[in-house]
Amino acid sequence: MFLSDVIIPLLIFSIVGYGLMGRHNIYEEFTEGAKDGLRTVAGIMPTLIGLMVAVGILRASGFLEAFAGVCAVATERLGFPSELLPVTVVKMFSSSAATGLLLDLYKQYGADSLLGRMASIMMSSTETIFYTMSVYFMSVKIKKSRYTLTGALLATLAGTAASVCLAKWM
């Protein structure tokens, strides 16, 4: 308990102490870093707002539930509950929106239900692909993502499949 209370202050004091021993102007370097951070935020803000608005529209319009209903026959044959499809799709765009859908699943089926366990494992074993790619690639000005999207989608598929298998075996 003691270590967790002091580790962050010790780290900050260590960094500042190292900078002072090297005769750096700590305050000036801190403010320059903060300015660079604000420029980065201003540069990626339109993309973030666009992603959040798009996810909000999909969720509020009922499209996700309709999509899950259309795909229900195919997903059920694969052993994947169609109720998890909206969480799976939204998680690729926004973790906070997916958490809202997860809480809806908990309310409807229970956190300890098979669906609740599947969704919980899936949330922790998948990534917000499009959010992460847009933020990181825009901040360092990468134009061609090459195989990143393909790899991320395959990793999400693997994480989703593993979450279903793990929850069924528990």
Domain ranges of the chain: 42-169
* % residues pLDDT > 70 (the chain): 99
63-116 per-position pLDDT tens digit: 988 988 899 989 989 889 999 999 999 899 888 888 988 999 999 999 999 999
* % residues pLDDT > 90 (the chain): 49
51-64 per-position pLDDT tens digit: 778 888 888 898 98
Measured between alpha carbons, how far is 10 from 25 in angstroms, rounded to an integer?
20
Measured between alpha carbons, how far is 9 from 14 in angstroms, rounded to an integer?
8
CB-based contacts of 142, cutoff 8 Å, min separation 6: 136
Please give the C-alpha separations between residue 89 and each of 36, 55, 63, in angstroms, as whole numbers: 33, 10, 11
Measured between alpha carbons, how far is 145 from 136 in angstroms, rounded to an integer?
11
Confirm whether pTM is higher than 0.75: no
Is 55 within 8 Å of 94 (Cβ atoms)?
Answer: yes
The candidate with the shortest Cα–Cα distance to 136, out of 12, 9, 43, is 43
pLDDT, residue 117, reads 95
Mean pLDDT for the chain overall: 89
For the residues of 45-78, what is the DSSP string, one character each?
HHHHHHHHHHHHHHHHHTHHHHHHHHHHHHHHHT
